[in-house]
A and B are shown apart, each in its own frame.
Chain A
């Protein structure tokens, strides 16, 4: 049991940490590509500076995403060897394709982009960043295809004590991934949009390069407003889909213990997991039915009834995930999303009326709002992954059965502490660098001169 808890914490920490960097990469690669494309089209040097300035922040973040991603590929085998044996026939394939199709493309062309400013033609150079943007988002598709198999296994047969693939195209057309993939990448786009708007706001408040940062803000706002609306729409559709595909997850997300018709939506609830009830809740009658079926009636299954169904299907056991974390994460995600929509629309109003740079209060809020998409991203994954418990593959294998049997608690603790320490130190370093280069702005002084150390630096002094 001890090993299980340690392995879970390790997966949780390393994966959440990895996903602090991924969404920004997904979106900012596209924003930088857009900026550079405008530069190539118009020849306006401002947009080249823009691509370089945001590109620098992109690279600092990108490096963290890359190195923490290596751990992701290794830890299935390290901590979850039984899981790897059980699903490797299916789960390994998208991971291998991800490396072959996406990682190679991304890593090679990011090198060309960083080092190729003077060696490639303008057009070709802009194409390299588009390829990076394409590759990072393609990478998301493959890893989410793998994850979707865990949420909604398709295209397999149980044979030779494992799940074997019978239909690769069923994996690719898994309905789960076609909700999860757009949801995830669009969240990444929102993350980048709010990142660019927030940092632009910081400079606009201080009247630094107002033209440069107003332009940046507008590009990000356009990108962000489209993304945030789409992500809300797709999220809503995904919720309806999950009510059928993973009813337990959605029931937990709503803390709905008893089936109800029409089902109310609990805005807040005091959840008593042991007694399977809410000691207090503030409800809107019929709203959950409406969200589920687009009408104020229709039965939504409660946790208890689903538990009874699962016991009938899978045998005795506790199939209820920890309800409170799923319930509150869900509210955090939706809440952050609603705030983002409001802020984006206010931004649109401010830009349209030409009052953006004088809206100091709004700009200050936008700086803080950089945190909102991060909150939504992480809490969204909490709903997806905690809500899947106790399954590692829905209906096929429990998390408990997936762990490496030969890895001791001591070894797990060593790596858990080790990764946490390294990640902690790197978080400080990364924030320091992001802060430093974000504040610096698009300075005219060549980068070379600014950072050249005074005098010679010897390694031995």
Chain B
């Protein structure tokens, strides 16, 4: 395996980690105004992801950094091409991040209401946009001979990518709702359970539609691995529904996570060895070779990544262990 392949795998892993982890805290943020019926409940919901959301978000920053370091042309084309979409995402992430910290620092109801909606919007927009973004990479975009994106913001929105966005959104809502059933006690847990079933119910047809559209709009199924991953995603999503019905929340969280893992894997496997498909001319595709850094840089970055990633995984896992207890309404809440 050459280093270009290894780095594609690493970027894929970073996106998988990001969607798996931040997926549930986006979902929790989206559900916040609807599940929390009073201030205490809403604080319980926010505190359930309180210690984790920031660390989860760094998965995205690291994915971005890894793209920049290993595939600068991918980073440059995608970030300048998705310009306004990324602006929306940044705006969302900015208000979302401060909202967690600021929300409970003032008792005024309007203040808290405003930040609750900031958390909702700040979670909803990126949850929707990421699905749109990665399906766009695969479906193809008007990328010219010089690797420059020539479309507009509206080019990014097509039936296929919108279904991609919607499916991702539903995955995250489902994942977040199951997370809440694991972290919270009381009537909130019941509500989260019901929402999880609902989201799962809509996510199944949405994913099936994405599978069908992938067949017609992309070449994903020409690769057995990618097709297989997508089928596994569908199976795990359906099993999640069964597990939720029988109240096995721990397992349901695991299968819902697998669903995100395999759906992401399917898209990136479908892309490989391309990183962005040009709809204008296959010769203008960005690939892991023409978009990459020099062999020397890849080597340096490989050493750094292989040293640090296990350490990061260890202490992040430890955090989840430290805060494994359920959140109840009568305890001290930081956020």
Contact = CB atoms under 8 A, between A and B. Distances in A.
Interface stretch (B175-183, B226-234, B304-312): B304-312
A90 B293 CA distance: 9
A315 interface: no
Nearest to A70: B93
Interface string B230-263: 0000000000000000000000000000000000
Interface string A51-88: 00000000110111011101101101111011011011
A89 B294 CA distance: 7
Interface string A84-108: 1101111111011111110111011
Nearest to A69: B61
Given A63-B97, A88-B293, A164-B296, A107 B58 contact: yes
B84 A406 contact: no
B54 interface: yes
A458 B38 contact: yes
B50 A407 contact: no
B55 interface: yes
B204 interface: no
B48 to A, nearest CB: 11
A12 interface: no
B79 A115 contact: no
B69 A93 contact: yes
Nearest to B112: A457
A75 to B, nearest CB: 8
B158 interface: no
Interface in B282-310: 293-294, 296-297, 300-301, 304-305, 308-309
B185 interface: no
A457 B62 contact: no
B94 A426 contact: yes
Contacts of B47: 115
B106 A433 contact: yes
A160 B292 CA distance: 12
A71 B90 contact: yes
A460 to B, nearest CB: 9
Nearest to A86: B72
A284 interface: no
Contact of B65 (A100, A114, A168, A426): A100
A157 B57 CA distance: 34
B86 to A, nearest CB: 6
Interface string B304-335: 11001100100110010011000000001110
B61 A112 contact: no
Report the interface size class on chain A: 35 or more
B150 interface: yes
A433 B55 CA distance: 24
Given A99-B62, A406-B150, A68 B94 contact: yes
Q: Which of B50, B101, B293, B334 has the most CB of A within 10 A?
A: B101
Given A433-B106, A457-B112, A67 B97 contact: yes
Contact of A74 (B37, B90, B98, B104): B90
Contacts of A60: 101-102, 105
Contact of B94 (A109, A118, A422): A422
B61 to A, nearest CB: 5
Contacts of A454: 107
B77 A81 contact: yes
B55 A108 contact: yes
Given A59-B101, A89-B72, A104-B312, A78 B83 contact: yes
Contact of A414 (B37, B66, B84): B84
Contacts of A415: 83-84, 87
A139 to B, nearest CB: 11
A414 B178 CA distance: 38
Contact of B293 (A92, A103, A419): A92
Contacts of B93: 67, 70
Contacts of A407: 80, 83
Interface stretch (A229-237, A356-364, A391-399, A445-453): A445-453
Given A115-B323, A448-B332, A165 B300 contact: yes
A124 to B, nearest CB: 9
Nearest to B312: A104
Contacts of A270: none
B33 interface: yes
Contacts of B332: 118, 448
A119 B325 CA distance: 10
A66 to B, nearest CB: 6
A355 interface: no
* Chain A at the B interface: SS class: helix
Contacts of A91: 68
Nearest to A448: B332
Contacts of B81: 406
A452 B62 contact: no
Q: Which of A63, A91, A93, A99 has the most CB of B within 10 A?
A: A99
B76 interface: yes
Contacts of B79: 74, 76-78, 81, 84
Q: Which of A71, A108, A454 has the most CB of B within 10 A?
A: A108
A402 to B, nearest CB: 11
A88 B101 CA distance: 34
B121 to A, nearest CB: 12
A82 B72 CA distance: 10
A77 B80 contact: yes
Given A68-B94, A103-B58, A429-B102, A111 B319 contact: yes
Contacts of B316: 104, 108
Contacts of A456: 38-39
A159 B294 CA distance: 10
Given A89-B72, A93-B300, A165-B300, 14 more contacts: A60-B105, A63-B102, A70-B57, A70-B93, A74-B86, A88-B68, A96-B65, A99-B65, A115-B51, A164-B297, A419-B90, A426-B98, A436-B106, A453-B107
Interface of A: 59-60, 62-64, 66-68, 70-71, 73-74, 76-79, 81-82, 84-85, 87-93, 95-101, 103-105, 107-112, 114-116, 118-120, 159-160, 164-166, 168, 404-407, 411, 414-415, 418-419, 422, 426, 429-430, 433, 436-437, 448, 450-454, 456-459, 461
Would you list the 10 A-B pairs with minimal beta carbon distance, nearest first? A88-B72, A77-B79, A92-B69, A92-B68, A96-B65, A111-B51, A63-B101, A67-B97, A81-B80, A96-B69
Interface of B: 33, 36-39, 42, 47, 50-52, 54-55, 57-58, 61-62, 64-70, 72-73, 75-81, 83-84, 86-87, 90-91, 93-98, 100-102, 104-109, 112-113, 116, 147-150, 293-294, 296-297, 300-301, 304-305, 308-309, 312, 315-316, 319, 322-323, 332-334
30 contacts: A60-B102, A64-B98, A73-B64, A74-B79, A77-B75, A78-B79, A78-B86, A81-B80, A84-B68, A85-B76, A92-B68, A92-B70, A93-B297, A103-B62, A105-B315, A107-B55, A108-B54, A111-B51, A111-B52, A111-B54, A111-B319, A164-B294, A406-B81, A411-B83, A411-B84, A414-B84, A422-B94, A430-B98, A437-B105, A457-B109
